[in-house]
Amino acid sequence: MSDKRFEVTILPRYCKGCGLCVEACGEGKLYIDPRPDMEGLLNAAVRDDVDCTGCLKCATICPDAAIEVYRVAEMASSVASE
C-alpha cells in the first residue's frame, strides 16, 4: 500500500518536545507523543501510516538536530499489481 521512500527518525536524547517539527510537516507525519520519556519529557514521534515526502522541513526547523531523514531503497512496489 505505502510506497515508502523516506524514513524519519527522532533522536529522543536531543528532542525537547517543542513541537516545531510537528507544525512544519504538512503531511502530518509527526506528532508529540503524550507519554513522557524516562526523564519526564515529551518527545516528537513518527506516524508509520503516513508517508514522508523527504522535504526536510522538520529536520531544518528542529533547533536541536533531533531529526534524521533517510532515503530508503526503492522497493519493487509494482510487483504485486497487474
Residues of this chain that interact with ligand SF4 (CB under 6 A) are 6, 8, 10, 15-21, 24-25, 27, 29-30, 44, 52-58, 62, 64, 66-67, 69
26 versus 82: smaller Cβ distance to ligand SF4: 26
CA gap 62, 22 in Å, rounded = 10
Cell reading at 43? 518527545
Closer CB to ligand SF4, 49 or 82, in the complex:
49
Min dist CB 1 to ligand SF4, Å, is 18
Amino acid letter, residue 43: N
**CB-based contacts of 77, cutoff 8 Å, min separation 6:** 3
